[in-house]
Structure formats: structure tokens, C-alpha cells
């Protein structure tokens, strides 16, 4: 009997010749699988989508800031409690927004009129504010002004 040595895996791999066509299609398939997984599960987005997301976030952030300023302007008026009750008695969100716009609380510095989105968000925040919360805010503001 002839003593034959079994070839190692590396030697088997060297001997097997993978065709170029198979190699190319394997690479193409790997790229396609990576792209599909990346865009569906990995959260990848195109440059255009990223720009749209950035613009949307910027607009929403601007409206959030403007509505916060609006709420502060509303609360700073002397008859804020009565105005809040008046706002909360309005059933229509459209009319609540008009109430905020007519009071000029949502007008930002350097602007002539209020942003519709900021006024709408301000009206929603104020209409959801409980009177007890409002009283607590008034008390904390009076304490801050006494200390300052």
C-alpha cells in the first residue's frame, strides 16, 4: 500500500479553480445583499433624504422655540390667568390659533406676523395647561423676581 497523504484545506482550495464569472457574481450578490440590508434594516439614507430630514428638523425646532417664546409672552401679561381661561373655553383649534395670533404673543422679534405653526403649537400647549400648573408657574416666577 502506498502511503497517501490527505491534502490540507489550503491545498484543496489552491487546486480548486473558481471561474471569474462565479467570482464576479458572488461579489455583485454580496454588494446587493449589503445594500438591501443597509437601507432597510441599517437605517442608511440617501443624501437627498438626509437633507430633507435636516430641513424638517430645523423647521420643527424653529417652531418649538417660537412656541416656547409665545408661551412665555402669554404668561408675562398681567391678565394671563383670565386670558388662559378664555383660550381654554374656545372649542376650535383654529379659533384658538387665531386668538394667539390676535394677541401677538407668537410674533417673533424682527417679524411682522406670527408663524401659523408656532401659533398653533403655542395654542395647543396653553390649552392643555391646567390652571393649577399655571398658578405654580406664577408662584415660581414671583419667587424668582423677589430673589432677583
Q: What is the mean pLDDT of the chain?
A: 84
Q: How many CA atoms lie within 13 A of 79 on its CB side?
A: 6
Q: What percent of the chain has pLDDT over 90?
A: 32
How many other CB atoms are found less than 10 A from the CB of residue 30? Answer: 10
**Which residue from 112, 122, 113, 134 is spatially nearest to 66, judged by alpha carbons?**
122
CB 69 within 8 A of CB 63: no
What's the whole-model pTM score? 0.59
State residue 16's pLDDT score: 76
143 vs 101 pLDDT, higher one: 101
Closest CA to 91 of 131, 123, 129: 123
End-to-end CA distance of the chain: 104
Per-residue confidence (pLDDT) for residue 25, from 0 to 100: 93
User: What is the share, in percent, of the chain residues with pLDDT greater than 70?
Assistant: 85
Structure confidence at residue 143 (pLDDT): 58
Amino acid at each position: 500500500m502506498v502511503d497517501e497523504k490527505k491534502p490540507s484545506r489550503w491545498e484543496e482550495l489552491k487546486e480548486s479553480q473558481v471561474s471569474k464569472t462565479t467570482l464576479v457574481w458572488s461579489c455583485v450578490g454580496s454588494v446587493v445583499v449589503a445594500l438591501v440590508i443597509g437601507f432597510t434594516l441599517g437605517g442608511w439614507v440617501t443624501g437627498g433624504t438626509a437633507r430633507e430630514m435636516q430641513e424638517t428638523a430645523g423647521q420643527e425646532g424653529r417652531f418649538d422655540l417660537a412656541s416656547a417664546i409665545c408661551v412665555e409672552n402669554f404668561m408675562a401679561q398681567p391678565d394671563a390667568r383670565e386670558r388662559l381661561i378664555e383660550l381654554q373655553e374656545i372649542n376650535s383649534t383654529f379659533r384658538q390659533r387665531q386668538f394667539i395670533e390676535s394677541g401677538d404673543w407668537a410674533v417673533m422679534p424682527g417679524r411682522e406676523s406670527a408663524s401659523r405653526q408656532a401659533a398653533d403649537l403655542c395654542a395647543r400647549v396653553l390649552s392643555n395647561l391646567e390652571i393649577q400648573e399655571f398658578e405654580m408657574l406664577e408662584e415660581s416666577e414671583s419667587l424668582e423676581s423677589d430673589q432677583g
